[in-house]
Amino acid sequence: MESLRGLSSTPASAYDELVTGQKSIRYHWQGILSVIRSLPGGGVRERLESAQRQLEESGATVNLLNDRGAPSWSFDPLPFVITPDEWQTIERGLIQRAWLLDAVLADVYGPQKLLDEHLVPPMLVHANRHFLRSCKVTDGKPPQRHLGQYAVDLVRLGDGTWHVLADHTEVPSGVGYALEIRRVQARALPEAFRAIPVRHLRPFVDRWNDSLAAMAPPEIERPNVAVLTPGSLSATYFEHVYLSRALGVPLVEGGDLVARNGDVSIKTLAGLRPVHMLLRRLDSSFADPLELRADSALGVTGLVEATRTGKIALANALGSGLVETPALMPFLERLCQRLLDQPLQLPSLDVWWLGEPTAYAFAMAHLDSMIVRPCLGSDREPIVVGMLDPADREALVKRMAAQPGQFVAQYPITPSLSPKWDGETLAPAAVVLRCFLIAEGRSYRVMPGGLAREPAGDTALRSLGRLNGTLKDVWVLAEDAADVQLPSSRRFHQLSVERGGADLQSRVADNLYWFGRYIERLDNDARLLRTAVTRVAQGVIGPRESSELRQLGRLIDRANLMPTTAALAMPESAAFQQGLAAVASDRRGLVAVLDAIQRLTDTLRDRFSADMTAAVGPLMADVREQLLSARGALDPLLAALDELVRFVATLSGLAQENMTRGTGWQFLDLGRRIERSQFILGSALGPFRQSPIDWDAAMRLALELCDSTITYRTRYLGQLQPAPVLDLVMLDDSNPRALAFQLRSIRGHLERLGQASGTRVPDTLHELDIDFERMVQMFGGEERSWRHEGLALAVLREMVEDAERRLDDLSEAITRAYFSHVPAAQAVGSMGR
């Protein structure tokens, strides 16, 4: 292969994963390289672009804490390949290390014999920010396992041996990304998976589900498991959603949970549903504002006490990040002999904890050639001493002298080199291997694969806890059929068939309801603005357009889409037209609604299908970019508004066809129907509140805003009359944009939600359609009677205002009944006896 000629290790001390010292390709790499060689010219590049696009569409590469849509890592289609024999050695060492760290945690949060025997320096416990004194077991039940999940970063040094670079025990991340990368890799290089015996990852996930259930309180026959997330702004929220789906368990936030009398339950529409096991993706210190961080809004008040009573288990146990500190590495050899009566099989990198005088003296003597790392606080980023200027070096030395126990020192490391596709050919790149383990019975199970990462920055020690840079799949080769694992037999239980949907979390129902409202609001605002921009963009504004634009200006001002001074200016004025062209620059209008939809889409990712998420993400990014690029120009703005309307139509179609008609969909559609009803009353009927002199314009706007112009033209041959126009946009329940259609849908949703949850919301819209029907009949009489006497106009205004109040009351009642669970306020003395 041409791109492999001359590919060798650089620098000389690095171990080459691909090429031997005799310049021959190692046998276990030959299969994947043969597949790549067989691809046509440009084939690898095309596969890479396709895979990268799939990862971006799924949201895997996006960190929502950073700029939306900006990838936080890239994908290398060339996997990291490991032989079966080598993997067995790694596997044994990882299982032993997991046992060891679990035993250390059990002792430190229990009898603390290791401290009494001086095997662990007290400072590494009591000064460690991960040590939670309130989680020390005194009179409660200790966890069955402190480490239910565990991740390890490994590097291979120049002599070919693997060493532990870092332990991840607090919230080990990466499993979801490894599974997603394997899925994408299988689609990008299907030929490779057909030709090469690669061990599968799915059995590991199946076993994980059983593992979590087994760690639940033993008296619970069928424990309920959930994934606890800090929310959609977490840097690894994609993984939280992915694991929730892969494990088939709900994704919950702290606000979804309540701890009472030692039990922890999920707040659902039908009441409290007990949960017995939490896969924790939330940092320990935020888990309980009562006993841990008082400023935390992410945790559950009383969760620590619930763990003491043994009513709930967590994976990992609170405070398990204690053993992540690199300062513990120098003591693991002795701890392994003491706790397991075995030599440590998988060594750590050489690390000197400066809290020991001899280690401090050694580090100071070789300081310029070492890397220094804080080890007990939140900051653990490495400091390359040789790259410091004299002033910074002096400041570091003073800090180390004042608090030596806060630092570790180690020599720079040179990770092994693995082939990487650089866009044109193969090139060597440093690699760090992340492996994953779960508790299983009395031992641990290792995922037969993992993540390989090219370190970002000047050292492999930088950003150890984060997934960034370039990631690739890890292939563990299978020897024979013995590597095939069957699903556990205990996965199948007898379950009662349920269709009610009352187990939906109140928070999720709230988000779906407002997602529906914001989607409809975006459609309404886009249609309103498009109606105005179309008339202005035509050039000459005649009397008819001027009359319509004056009414549209009042509606745009009411919708808060333009500054009042611009919206109420004369349509021919520069103020009105410039204000209209600048709506894409106003953060309070369309952009604010798009931001709200983006935020709710991120939060509700676990409720949408993968196809729906993959479609919505790129579409939303496109319409946002088109809208922002249209600032100040009417023609691009009109095109952007057209795209917004199409985007809403696409999203509506996906929700209509891809969501089960359960309570989640009911709330989403209920929000849309209430928002559309308010738009019909406020915008489509708004111009009718004015003098009948302007009703020709009012009728045209009502039909256009309700997308009913073609229907009206077909029925009435284009002759505009108030009664048929009002009938079509208000009373015709076959018209999906008529008020009657919305009222019928709202009543149906409220009835079904009441049946599912047992909580009913009073119908504040009763007989509203009948009242409107009588009002429309008034406009069907002689024109003189309603045009000059003004009675019908007064009735219309009063009925529209009354309907708007009823819709506001209904929205508040829905919030009280299903989201906040707060009863309606009553005046003092109003309660019945």
pLDDT digits (tens, 9 = 90+) for 590-605: 889 999 998 898 888 8
Neighbours of 788 (CB within 10 A): 9
Residue carrying the six token digits 């693991």:
332
Kindly state whether residue 715 falls inside one of the protein's structural domains.
yes
Same domain, 688 and 541: no
Of 308-317, 404-413, 482-491, 752-761, the least confident: 482-491
Neighbours of 398 (CB within 10 A): 10
Of 329-338, 343-352, 474-483, 528-537, the least confident: 474-483
* pLDDT given at position 716: 87
Kindly state whether residue 59 falls inside one of the protein's structural domains.
no
Neighbours of 572 (CB within 10 A): 13
Of 241-250, 382-391, 531-540, the least confident: 531-540
Phi/psi region, residue 6 (left: phi>0; alpha: psi -120 to 50; beta: rest), is: left
Kindly state whether residue 599 falls inside one of the protein's structural domains.
yes
- Contact, 426 vs 419, CB < 8 A? yes
Question: What is the band of 497 on the pLDDT scale with cuts at 50, 70, 90?
Answer: very low
* pLDDT given at position 272: 87
* pLDDT given at position 404: 96
> For 766-781, what is the mean pLDDT?
77
- Contact, 165 vs 408, CB < 8 A? no
Q: Does residue 822 or residue 110 have the better pLDDT?
A: 110
Q: Encoding tokens for residue 739?
A: 């008020």
* pLDDT given at position 689: 72
> Strands, DSSP E only, in 664-776?
none
Separation of alpha carbons 591 and 586, rounded Å: 7
Kindly state whether residue 487 falls inside one of the protein's structural domains.
no
Task: Report the run of H or E that residue 228 belongs to, with start and end.
Answer: strand 225-228
- Contact, 678 vs 807, CB < 8 A? yes
SS (H, E, C) 119-147: CCCCHHHHCCCCCCHHHCCCCCCCCCCCC
Convert the pLDDT of each residue in 373-409 to its tens digit: 999 987 778 999 989 999 999 999 999 999 999 999 9
Write out the DSSP string of 385-436. Answer: GGGS-HHHHHHHHHHHHH-GGGEEEE------EEEEE-SSSEEEEE-EEEEE
* Full residue range of the structural domain in which residue 383 is found: 350-410
Residue 166 predicted with pLDDT over 50:
yes
Kindly state whether residue 162 falls inside one of the protein's structural domains.
yes
Beta-bridged to residue 434, according to DSSP, are 153, 451
Same domain, 766 and 638: no
Residue 493 predicted with pLDDT over 70:
no
Kindly state whether residue 49 falls inside one of the protein's structural domains.
no
The residue from 448, 482, 516 where one domain ends is: 482
* pLDDT given at position 785: 57
* pLDDT given at position 830: 43
Kindly state whether residue 719 falls inside one of the protein's structural domains.
yes
Residue 484 predicted with pLDDT over 80:
no
Kindly state whether residue 69 falls inside one of the protein's structural domains.
no
The residue from 659, 691, 716 where one domain ends is: 659
What b/e readout covers 372-387, taking b as 16+ CB neighbours within 10 angstroms?
bbbbbeeebebbebee
Residue 492 predicted with pLDDT over 50:
no
Question: What is the band of 654 on the pLDDT scale with cuts at 50, 70, 90?
Answer: confident
Same domain, 297 and 215: yes
Task: Report the run of H or E that residue 451 belongs to, with start and end.
Answer: strand 451-454
Task: Report the run of H or E that residue 548 belongs to, with start and end.
Answer: helix 543-558
* pLDDT given at position 500: 54
- Contact, 134 vs 304, CB < 8 A? yes
Separation of alpha carbons 304 and 300, rounded Å: 9
Q: Encoding tokens for residue 20?
A: 């031997």
Residue 10 predicted with pLDDT over 60:
no
Same domain, 610 and 717: no
User: Helix, strand, or coil here: 577?
Assistant: helix
Same domain, 309 and 217: yes
Q: Does residue 320 or residue 69 have the better pLDDT?
A: 320
Beta-bridged to residue 198, according to DSSP, are 477
Same domain, 797 and 692: yes
Same domain, 202 and 291: yes
Please, what is the angle between helix 574-581 and helix 543-558, to 10°? 50
Residue carrying the six token digits 């290790």:
9
- Contact, 771 vs 799, CB < 8 A? yes
Convert the pLDDT of each residue in 695-711 to its tens digit: 788 888 889 999 999 99
Separation of alpha carbons 130 and 114, rounded Å: 18
Separation of alpha carbons 201 and 179, rounded Å: 7
Q: Encoding tokens for residue 561?
A: 């889409």
Residue 724 predicted with pLDDT over 60:
yes
Separation of alpha carbons 743 and 810, rounded Å: 12
Sign of CA dihedral 59, 65, 67, 70: negative
Residue 489 predicted with pLDDT over 80:
no
Q: Helix, strand, coil proportions of the chain in percent (round to 5)? A: 50, 10, 35
Same domain, 620 and 508: yes
- Contact, 702 vs 688, CB < 8 A? yes
Rg (CA), the chain: 32
Phi and psi at residue 349, to the nearest 5°? -65, 155
Question: What is the band of 344 on the pLDDT scale with cuts at 50, 70, 90?
Answer: very high
Residue 369 predicted with pLDDT over 90:
yes
Same domain, 365 and 317: no
pTM: 0.86
Burial class (CB in 10 A: 0-12, 13-18, 19+), 658: middle
Residue 1 predicted with pLDDT over 60:
no
Task: Report the run of H or E that residue 796 belongs to, with start and end.
Answer: helix 791-814
Of 166-180, 512-526, 605-619, the least confident: 605-619
Question: What is the band of 662 on the pLDDT scale with cuts at 50, 70, 90?
Answer: confident
- Contact, 232 vs 603, CB < 8 A? yes
Nearest to 319 by CA among 167, 134, 131, 151: 131
Q: Are strands 371-374 and 383-384 parallel, antiparallel or unpaired?
A: antiparallel
Convert the pLDDT of each residue in 117-147 to its tens digit: 999 999 999 999 999 999 998 877 888 899 9
Residue 771 predicted with pLDDT over 90:
no
Of 596-610, 784-798, 808-822, the least confident: 784-798
Convert the pLDDT of each residue in 14-62 to its tens digit: 899 999 878 889 999 999 999 888 888 777 888 888 888 888 878 888 7
Provide the edge-to-edge strand list for the sheet that holds 313-315. Answer: 251-252, 225-228, 277-280, 313-315
* pLDDT given at position 772: 81
- To 10 degrees, the CA torsion angle through 527, 532, 534, 538? 180
Mean pLDDT over all residues of the chain?
87
Separation of alpha carbons 1 and 8, rounded Å: 14
Residue 2 predicted with pLDDT over 50:
no
> For 480-492, what is the mean pLDDT?
50
Q: How many domains does the chain have?
A: 4
* pLDDT given at position 201: 93
Percent of the chain residues past pLDDT 90, beyond the cut: 53
Give CA 115 to chain center in angstroms: 41
Q: Does residue 280 or residue 548 have the better pLDDT?
A: 280
Peptide bond into 316 cis (omega under 30): yes
Q: Does residue 495 or residue 806 have the better pLDDT?
A: 806
Same domain, 627 and 775: no
User: Helix, strand, or coil here: 15?
Assistant: coil
Percent of the chain residues past pLDDT 70, beyond the cut: 91
CATH number at residue 397: 3.30.1490.270
Same domain, 665 and 653: no
Give CA 798 to chain center in angstroms: 45
Nearest to 284 by CA among 123, 444, 441, 128: 128
User: Helix, strand, or coil here: 19?
Assistant: strand
Peptide bond into 487 cis (omega under 30): no
Question: What is the band of 433 on the pLDDT scale with cuts at 50, 70, 90?
Answer: very high
Same domain, 274 and 322: yes
Separation of alpha carbons 697 and 541, rounded Å: 14
Question: What is the band of 823 on the pLDDT scale with cuts at 50, 70, 90?
Answer: low
